[in-house]
Structure 1
Amino acid sequence: MTQDDVKLVVLLALSYMVNEEENKRISADGTLFDFLLKMVKTAEKAKNRSQWGFSIHELINGLAKLAENDDNRTTIMKKGAFDILKRLLKKENQAEQIAVVNAIRELSLAPKNKVLFKEDKEVWKTLKELRNSDNKELSKAAQGAYFVINEGKDKENAKKTPERAEQEAHDTGHIMLSYNLGDQKTVLKIRDRLREKGLTVWMDVDNMEGSILEAMARAVEESRIVLVCYSEKYKESQNCKTEAEYAYSQKKEVVPLLMQRGYKATGWLGAIIGAKLFYDFSGKYDFDKKFTELYSSLAGKFAPGKT
């Protein structure tokens, strides 16, 4: 194995091993990104579309992992990732397209990158088309990237029916539950108890018609409060991240509910939760006591039976 082989293996291993904060240390040496992007270009020319045993989609997946840090997102684009991703996006290799679309989604969390991807007509057209791909994984990835870049808005479908406009005009807002599937049992219990108290609660198990992302966007937009039921798995989930960051961008009131004992939010999740008062539903304390505390804080914001 050559020195370059070792360098590539270590870099890709690091991309999957380090957390969001540790990614920042990797960005200190921009030559690492030069090297990884060079490997992608070399793999493009190879008959088996791989380099030293790594396929293009594996290389791009590693790049996407490294892009989980804000500094890395900027550096990667400065190193010329845009042209490579645009070129690969147009190829009909679905494994590569999925990796590229996920990388675009991650990179687009940086505002300047978001503008670059949206203003390129070819990239934007391709993303819109891939949302309707027969490949479910590719379609889901494209919907996610499109949602992030377009900030939850689909201007082509922005017109509301008279019925929906009337409904929204009278809508005083609901409580939205944002959670990871691993905590669903506890979250369902919270939902049921809040409804028993006369509050209107939105949860994806009840209201997921049509596009998942569009349904989520409407749920956030029409909410008054978003209960972020957070844990380590919540932070690691791309969909949870999209929900929480969209709620934050819409200036919704975020109320944190801790679902994992001893867990402390860091990175993007820590920035959203900040120093907010959280309610501990991790099992450390009596559920009824914590629910009473949560309900007391919410009750004054709603008129039961009118939400």
Structure 2
Amino acid sequence: MPTPDTRLTEQRNPRSTRIDQLSTLEIVDLINAEDQMVAAAVAEERQQIAHAIDIAVDCFRKGGRLFYVGAGTSGRLGVLDASEMPPTYSTDPGMVQGIIAGGLDALVRAQEGAEDRPQDGASAIDERQVNTNDFVLGIAASGTTPFVHGALKRARELGARTGFLLCTYPSEKLMQSHDVVIAPLVGPEVITGSTRMKAGTATKMVLNTISTAAMVRTGKVYGNLMVDLQVTCQKLQDRGERILMETLGIERWEATHLLDESGGHVKIAIVMNKLGLDAQDARRELDVAGGSIADVVGDLGAR
């Protein structure tokens, strides 16, 4: 008798055992019903998610970086979240990085064997010169991916802080090995083992929360506006102008001119207007305040 697999991600879902006999609408309803469990599972991990955010913020303030490490869907989601930080919050591309087993080719074509080599995970950490100021978050829905474990082991040896995000019950060893473990238990997938579904959705929710909250805590948001964006395309030009119009009470043409004078930096433009400074002095004020615009010009929400 084979030993039963205790990983939630590999168990069969009793509610979908006859999915192949359902109508198209019934399949849609079943998947939707299962997806509704995801947010609740993520909410159960709120304390651990908050701890991961605090670790990331502490590392950022020391000049460190956040690394996501994963394979397959987990790796792709990490790369996706990391790649969205520079255009959204004007971060340096090195500040949040995604590492995926198999390299960039694995983003568009599965490199299944790549996840089985822990030494490749360790090499990826060495290549990025991970150090004591960095935070490395491993992502593996099943909790067992060798590439991820190899990367985290090497990161710990180098003195980095580490975390693990999985969608099954974490072992005691895992809990003791890392600074934080996040385990939203979304249950078995509609299609057995297809962790791109509920587990993937939970992973994206957790990563979105970590990166967004970390950006808020490091002063890249004013009120609920992404004021640290830099204009690099027409969409962001329009968004930047609208933010300036709303926060400063100015006309569109004034916002356009101010944004141009600031070099396309919304946050700098706000400080220039509020304090009557040029772009260089506005940037200096923000640097002194650690990037927190509220500390320079006051709380937008309070007004």
- The bucket for the TM-score relative to the shorter chain is under 0.3
Comparing both chains, which one has the higher relative contact order based on Cα–Cα distances under 8 Å and sequence gaps of 6 or more? 2
1 or 2, which has the higher helix percentage?
Answer: 1
TM-score, with length taken from structure 2:
0.25
